[in-house]
Amino acid sequence: MKRALFIVVPVLVLLLAIMLVAKRLNSRAGGSLEGLAHIPTDAMLVVRANEWRSLAVAAKRDRPIWEALTNLHVLGEAVAALSVLDSMVALGTEYDVALRRGECYISLHPEGNGAAATLMVLRFEGLKPDLNQLAELLLPRHASLSYERAYNHATLWGFVVHGNGSKPDIYLSTKGGVALLATTPLLLEKALRMDEAHGGLREDPVFADLYEQSARREAANVYLHPPRLMPYISRYLATDLALAVKSLEGWCGWIATDAKCAHSDLVLNGVSRLSDSIKQTSSTLKGHRTSPLKAPRVLPANTALLLRWGARGSEKLGDWLEKILQPALDANYTQKHYQADLKLFRRMMVEELSLAYVPSTVQGEAGNWLLTLATESPSQAIDELALALGPGLKERAARLDRGESYTLYSQQRPDLFRQLFGRIVPVGVGQHFTAVDRFLVFSTSPQQLQRVVLANTRKQTLQEADHWHEMSDAVQSDCNFALYLSPASLAQSSELLSKLGNAQVNADAPALGNLSGAALQLSATGDIVFYNCVVHQGQVMGREARTIWQTRLDAPLVGRPWLMNSHVAKGKEVMAQDARGMLYLISGQGRVLWRKPLDMPILGEPQQVDVYRNGKLQYAFVTPHALWVVDRNGNDVAGFPVKLVSEAVAPLAVFDYENRRDYRLMVALANRTVGVWDANGRRVVGFNARTETALVAEPALYQHGGKDFIVLCDSNRLYLLNRRGEERLRLKLPIRRAANSTLGFSSRTPTLYVVGENGSLYTASLADGTVKSVSLARWSAGGASLLLDLNGDGVPEVVAVQGDTFSVHGADGAAKVRQRLEADMVPRIQPFHFGGTDWRFGILDANAKRVWLLNAKGEPCTGFPIEGGTLFSIGHLQEGEGRFNLLTGGAGDLLLNYAVAE
């Protein structure tokens, strides 16, 4: 099950240690193989180095995959043994030549407590190595000798290389022309005994046969022994998966593979033999032809784990599964029930069976399992299920988006496949299912099935994912068995692993994040099983945005989430409010830091202020009936909240005239006045402005030539006021500002720009009050507009969304950009400035529950649109991550954090 991590990764790290460090090694095919004779027969993994020149070239050429894998700590104490090769390049000419003509092996052996020990065997051709010289050459200068013992005519030394204690972590000895290094004294003693007993792997007939057939053209060979390797791997897995993996210990005797690399891929290709005379599980493959790998076509792009079985012809697949997967027989599920279900499975004409795990990104929630059946006829398969299950099979139409729907089935035997194929199938995975293309997809969760349907509709399947495309050249199109693993997703897949496995994943999380995919494939031909294994280096990032985490709120999100600067965390935090008025502060990792109930929804967005002038930030905002200032712990700042005498009708405006943190908090009220408070919650007297009709927007501040212009808007005209609320200038033409529009100001001249409700762009001089206007080309009523200086010339452009159209107009009213999108856009547009002239705009298609990020030409940015039910914020939660975070509302009460490529 977990072979892509706990077979592939340990094997490859051992291999890489040779490839990166022991660049002077050369193991020839001939010779006495005296070194091989010293490897005890209980080895579960052996790596042999071949030509050092190939290794050196490969390491230099394919650095991305090497660096990604050598950062892993999965080998534990084996790292100590491998590190001694750092000094190999310092060997003198005599040792260098002798070793290149000899042999070099690294092997992994099980220990009694379930751990593993590492052995390194170096045979020097025509040279008897000196123990003192080897210790000086191989071990770092800080290594200290803390153990010495005579054993079987040899001397054993133990050195402390890593750590401050007295217990050695490297043991060294020599015998004849062989140097032996091990991580335990017992393993070293066993290796010293092997040659005298004429034992060791040289005497194992199965190993010897594969060893002689191994190709020498590749940089290294890797040999695996499932009977000992599978129990070792199983201790990293959760109970049911551990039992499934442990059952494979009888797969075969030895597997021999060749290792090669290709920039970002490390590939192992190898074989094992099928035998009628030897009882081994792999013999069940005999006579079963390979079939096309189909599951990636239907599974979501964020699939973390895939197990797939296939054979040419549905009858053949049923025969093979009957032999390899054991049913869960008990008093309630007898052999008779099993045979009936097996006949049902065959009648469904299944060509491929897959199990897939899709991790949940919701904090504290388990992931979901999918079981997929690729059938010759999905409709016939459903008919056969209906016939077998009778009234226990229910169907209903489930809503998707844009008025579309799909058929969701539920049945009363949720453990049908667990009973049929054993404990490798999770509990309840057959409870719900739907048909997608030529697949039946089963799950415990209707919501997960909806995500599968959406992923296929939006072409966000595993087959469409960048990391699958990048490794597809090394993945075979046909096979009998396939395992796919996303190592970067293991941190969100804790329920797959044991306590030990999760501890290992946590220790290696940064390194695993650089491994976007690993695959293992088995294909039978004649009396041979071919193995193909590939590990791909690359960030899980590409054309499609990917969810990093999801956080469940108490109710659906309203408005958009806001990115807030944090004086505590290194980076930003997220503030959000749900439909019940609950306000949240959420960490950059998706953890809710606090909740605070408010009387009503926040108008607009929270503003950050430093009321104490000490660098610690607070959040200021207004609800219809109160003005609030809240600290980072969710506590009210002294003097707040302020109860409003009249209802607020627009978002809060925060002015700091002199940039001295002497704030003025301004609120547009329903009584046609503007309330002004200081940072202590005291009402500022003397600002007595009153408009003719109801205010329609928050106050705005424009400063030019030493003058302040506080701009108010009611339904009739604009007001230009000074700090006391007195009208500084009256425009010579009243302007009725369009709904859902912003004001624009020139950075060169005292000029105000306004989009009018009649579709004109007004230019008002703040020097003399004169007003000019131009008609905006092809303008239609409704929508939303912004006035922003996109090109840095000091004059704002009009950016607008109207229905399904995005447009940009110049100051002359002409349309510079006009793009139609497959979206019915909400009349809101959110600007994001990424420096210089790099502007991007967020819009929402509420009907389809999708969000778009557009560039200034109206073109969708890479990976968009994506799922989202609200407008969004975008930025860096943590600096230096090489990606943006996009925060939006998801289905139900979820807050989504997407990773978006920069």
Residue 240 pLDDT grade (very low, low, confident, very high; cuts 50, 70, 90): confident
Q: 559 is written with which tokens?
A: 């408005």
Number of H helices and number of E strands within the chain?
Answer: 20, 53
Q: Report the pLDDT averaged over residues 469-498.
A: 84
Q: 502 is written with which tokens?
A: 């999760």
pLDDT recorded at residue 591: 83
Q: Report the pLDDT averaged over residues 352-374.
A: 81
pLDDT recorded at residue 31: 47
d(CA 876, CA 287): 55
Please give the C-alpha separations between residue 575 and each of 117, 563, 616, in angstroms, as whole numbers.
50, 7, 16
Four-residue CA torsion sign, 860, 864, 870, 874: negative
pLDDT tens by residue, 331-349: 999 999 999 999 999 999 9
Among 220-234, 509-523, 732-746, the range of highest mean pLDDT:
732-746
Q: How many Cα neighbours within 13 Å face the side chain of 98?
A: 17
> With 80 as the cut, is the pLDDT of residue 787 above it?
yes
d(CA 546, CA 885): 10
Q: Report the pLDDT averaged over residues 367-375.
A: 91
Q: What is the mean pLDDT of the chain?
A: 85
> With 70 as the cut, is the pLDDT of residue 15 above it?
no
pLDDT tens by residue, 639-680: 999 999 999 999 999 999 999 999 999 999 999 999 999 999
Q: Report the pLDDT averaged over residues 586-613.
A: 93
Minimum mean pLDDT among 306-310, 629-633, 707-711, 878-882: which range? Answer: 878-882
DSSP string, 773-817: EEEPTT--SSSEEEEE-SSSSSSPEEEEEETTEEEEE-TTS-EEE
Residue 794 pLDDT grade (very low, low, confident, very high; cuts 50, 70, 90): very high
Amino acid at 464: E
d(CA 390, CA 248): 37
Amino acid at 646: S
CA 660 to chain centre: 43
d(CA 353, CA 321): 9
pLDDT tens by residue, 251-269: 888 999 988 776 677 788 8
pLDDT recorded at residue 33: 74
User: Percentage of residues in the chain with pLDDT exceeding 70?
Assistant: 86
Residue of 728, 687, 732 whose CA lies nearest to 708: 728
Q: Are 552 and 365 contacting, i.e. CB atoms less than 8 angstroms apart?
A: yes
pLDDT recorded at residue 274: 82
pLDDT recorded at residue 82: 44
Amino acid at 364: G
Residue 401 pLDDT grade (very low, low, confident, very high; cuts 50, 70, 90): low
Amino acid at 313: G
> With 80 as the cut, is the pLDDT of residue 782 above it?
yes
SS3 for 530? strand
d(CA 500, CA 487): 16
Q: Are 796 and 752 contacting, i.e. CB atoms less than 8 angstroms apart?
A: no
- Give ∠ CA 364-368-373 in degrees, rounded to 5: 175
β-bridge partners, 753: 744, 763
Looking at the whole model, is its pTM more than 0.75? no
Minimum mean pLDDT among 61-65, 199-203, 274-278: which range? Answer: 61-65
Q: 617 is written with which tokens?
A: 């930030």
Q: 157 is written with which tokens?
A: 């030394």
- Give ∠ CA 509-548-635 in degrees, rounded to 5: 105
Residue of 83, 344, 109 whose CA lies nearest to 228: 109
d(CA 231, CA 827): 60
SS3 for 253? coil
Q: Report the pLDDT averaged over residues 29-34.
A: 57
Minimum mean pLDDT among 30-39, 188-197, 476-485: which range? Answer: 30-39
Amino acid at 362: V
The owner of tokens 């504290």 is 364
> Which residues make Cβ contacts (< 8 Å) with residue 881, sequence separation at least 6?
none
> With 90 as the cut, is the pLDDT of residue 163 above it?
no
Q: Report the pLDDT averaged over residues 127-133.
A: 88
